[in-house]
Structure 1
């Protein structure tokens, strides 16, 4: 039996000219030109600082027909993303935009929408989006004027409105609604907060899951049909889940190679139960951990403020839930809940993971596509953050604001109060409950029909 743990390789590998083993796959497929069988070659690769792609090359030896295509190989994120940006200056028009295959572009002021089916994924800027729309509408106008003058006149009026919008006659808002979570709008103030740009994450509904190719109910039914019958011996295990480590197969979030995730229910002293999931990939060496609350949403939100005054503070245990906002006022820095997900680590480990993710996941702030000015700001920010991590700077405040109340920072003086840490429990606002999905949740008499 072959040991897959030592032979597994990344599914998507970096695109390199000197790769000795690109691992192209050849399959026989029908030629759409002559009906005979030709050969399709598939290459799964990764463009540095961008994303995974699938290169397809077809050639038919019977009629000589050739065809080349590129498809996105992006992994679907756990949640979708909703990006909103106010465009009011020429600099805003030049913001870079990464639009995935599944993203919808909207301009609310014009009551205008570009559905995902009409345009494949692309890298462009705000001005480029408007320019393509104008060019597309103008292209068919001559024929439209001959066949339907009334509609052509209305479209001419809308084109003029688009041109005025492109010339910034009035500020407008561009919205990217992407259920796959793989779209970006450039943050001009990176790594600081951009006041003109907002980002939120949402759980996909059934229709959005189907759009990105996820069919949960169908997969559950297939798994149930294929699941072997369990004997009493198979089900006889520890009654207490806290004593058991569960294992299940998954794919590496970095290279997509098959790997294994370990999951365990554990209890944090002076806090609550949490579920810890850890994944190690033998193919690329990537290690990740994620934390989910085992006790649901708390009655109140929690805001934890720590002033770093000693190197030992970096060793404090931290549980940052997936609903937690992280702020460092001295760096004018804030990240939303979707940036790091849930993590259980030390304060040092959390800050290092945050630094690595900010400089490694968004192609608009790192790599070849990032402007020199942004790279310089990111380098300066990383240096300041590194000084905090290495305890060269003291007095920095690190704030965890979690409306779900599921985040925790170790009190090294427990059960006494920690003089350097302030913990405040607060009542959630309507906006907090809306973000957590509580406003639409019916928890009493839910079996009764509302009407």
Structure 2
């Protein structure tokens, strides 16, 4: 018999101080091991600084069989994500990891791969992922030794190599590739950049969309508006609120930024929970050259500069040894003060490792000091440099002296590297001298 929780949010946040938490929902279900009835516990919750998840745990009192898994309850993200971690110490084994069931896992040094959809989703640590892989390989070893001793011996040797990874005698690489964008590896050095962790956001290919059950818009469903209509019209389309998942409307408008180019501004306002969000995307093509903008912040008036940060732009403040990678915070059209405020909110206010049971005193102290330094920069009590590095060349920072050069701002154009073109999907793109193949 399922227990119905009292009225409240569908996905309450994890909190050790919420005494009125209704707890998990209990469902009597069939044990796939002994065919008797066991008990499944479902917990719908939200991980702060991440997204909604469903945690399920099954236990059978008849045979002792137990199982658990985690599933994402949120929407599939607009881009896939690839985490590449270079584990070099035992501390790296304690990193928290969220692995979705559609994510593939690789350890290149051992030529080891766990394909997507072969394991259930898990909320664990790096060490836990290794233990889970070892348990899966050892599961049928007794039968395998009786039927195919040679294969069993090779698997046993490989299992020993996996177990040795936990000693971290030599560094190894863990790659989690999730086309749904719902996997996660912890950065224990926040708000500083993690030199051992590389996060890459990418556009899914057609096969990945098919695997995830996504469908492309047909030609008949595509909007037929021309560019002039878009400039004079606010378009609306239905979506789901990223906070409460309720139906909401997103407004989209094409806007011309003076001395720059056209951009697309999208804003969502949820009437159910009041959550508001906005995002900016470039309305033009990828530039031939990347752009690096460096501003020396010396006066409070600098905070009023208009700023366009595209989704391909990284932000860094050298004096604070801080770097925000591309894709984080998405695209924004705001002021310099608005950007720094959003950075503080992302790193300090909404960081789950800053409050609650997961707080580490030393890390909490560093985050608090980082927030104080950002406040000093916003109030112009501390001089600093802001660097916007956009490999696509679609970011912008207002020149207060236009059309004359700004003495405090330096704009550099540069040739993209092969790796940067690969991240933007330009290496395999061909837009001229191609022939259409008849199907």
Q: Are the counterparts in 1 of residues 48 and 352 from structure 2 also a CA contact under 8 Å?
A: no
Partner of 1:447: 435
- Match of 1:327, SS? strand
Taking the TM superposition and a 5 Å limit, the aligned residue runs for 1:52-201 are 52-54=52-54, 71-201=71-201
The offset of 1:138, in angstroms, is 2.8
Unaligned 5+ residue runs, structure 2?
Answer: 1-7, 33-39, 59-66
The equivalent position to 2:309 in structure 1, one of 292, 303, 320, is: 320
Whole-Å separation in 1 of the counterparts to 2:184 and 2:200: 12
Pair 1:68–1:401, CA change in 2 (3 A): closer
Q: CA deviation at 1:175?
A: 0.7
1:216 is paired with a residue whose SS is coil
Deviation at 1:345, TM superposition (A): 0.5
8 A Cα contact 1:359 1:366, kept in partner: no
Q: Deviations over 1:348-390 (max 9, x none)?
A: 1111122222346665676544533333322221221122223
Name 2:257's counterpart in structure 1: 268
Cα distance change, pair 136–363 in 1 and its aligned pair in 2 (3 A):
farther
Change (3 A) 1:365 1:96: farther
Superposition RMSD in Å: 3.5
Residues of 2 paired with 1:397 and 1:179: CA distance? 35
Number of equivalenced pairs? 411
The structural deviation recorded for 1:407 is 0.5
**Partners in 2 of 1:156 and 1:183 — Cα distance?**
30
Helix, strand or coil: the match of 1:380? helix
Alpha carbons 2:305, 2:400 under 8 Å: kept: yes
Q: Distance in 1 between matches of 2:42 and 2:174?
A: 36
**What's the counterpart of residue 279 of structure 1?**
268
Distance 1:258 1:278 in 2: 14
Structure 2 residue matching 1:447: 3-state secondary structure? coil
Following the alignment from structure 1 to structure 2, what is the Cα–Cα distance between the partners of residues 343 and 201? 17
Distance verdict in 2 for CA 1:213–1:316, change over 3 Å? same
TM-score (norm 2): 0.83
Task: Give the Cα–Cα distance (whole angstroms) in 1 for the partners of residues 180 and 355 of structure 2.
Answer: 21
Aligned equivalents of 1:129 and 1:331: distance in 2?
34
Mark the CA change 1:92 to 1:48 in structure 2 (over 3 Å): closer, same or farther: closer
The match for 1:380 among 351, 369, 383 is: 369
Kindly report which structure 2 residues correspond to 1:235-274, keeping only aligned pairs within 5 A, or say none: 239-274=228-263
- Find the aligned partners of 2:56 and 2:328 in 1 and give their Cα distance: 33
Please list the CA deviations of residues 326-363 of structure 1 after superposition, one character each: whole Å capped at 9, or x if unmatched: 11101101111110111101111111122222346665
Once the two structures are TM-superposed, the CA of residue 91 in structure 1 deviates from its matched residue by 1.5
CA distance in 2, matches of 1:132, 1:291: 41
2:396 is aligned to: 408
**DSSP-derived class of the 2:238 partner:** strand
Alpha carbons of 1:379 and 1:211: their partners in 2 closer, same or farther (altered >3 Å)? farther
**Cα distance, 1:269–1:355 mapped onto 2, change above 3 Å:** same
Distance 1:380 1:241 in 2: 45
Structure number having the greater helix percentage: 1
Indicate conservation of the 8 Å contact 1:190/1:365, yes or no. Answer: no
* 356 and 209 in structure 1: CA distance in 2 versus 1, 3 angstrom threshold: farther
Q: Secondary structure at the match of 2:117?
A: helix
Matched, 1:437 2:425: yes
More displaced, 161-170 or 369-378? Answer: 369-378
Hey, what does 2:280 align to over in structure 1?
A: 291
Q: For residues 78 and 227 of structure 2, what CA distance do their matches in structure 1 show?
A: 31
Pick closer, same or farther for the CA change 1:194–1:134 going to 2, 3 Å: same
After the TM superposition, which of the residue ranges 134-143 and 265-274 deviates more from structure 2?
134-143
Q: Name the CA distance, whole Å, in 1 between partners of 2:433 and 2:402.
A: 41
The separation in 2 between residues aligned to 1:237 and 1:444, in whole angstroms, is 24
Aligned: 1:209 with 2:209: yes
Moved more, 362-371 or 259-268: 362-371
1:214-245, CA deviations, whole angstroms, 9 ceiling, x for partnerless residues? 2225xx48x84xx9xx9xxxx99994432222
Report the Cα offset of residue 70 of structure 1.
6.7
Task: Find the residue that maps to 2:143 and give its secondary structure.
Answer: helix
TM-score (norm 1): 0.81
Structure 1, unmatched stretches of 5+, are: 1-8, 34-39, 59-66
| 1:80-121 residue CA offsets vs partner (Å, 9 max, x unmatched) | 111111112111222222212222111001111122323222
Selected match of 2:412 from 420, 424, 431: 424
Tell me, yes or no, if the aligned pair for 2:48 and 2:350 is still in contact at 8 Å: no
Shift of 1:246: 1.6
Secondary structure in structure 1 of the residue aligned to 2:129? helix
Match status 1:358 vs 2:355: no
**Superposed displacement of residue 199, structure 1:** 0.9
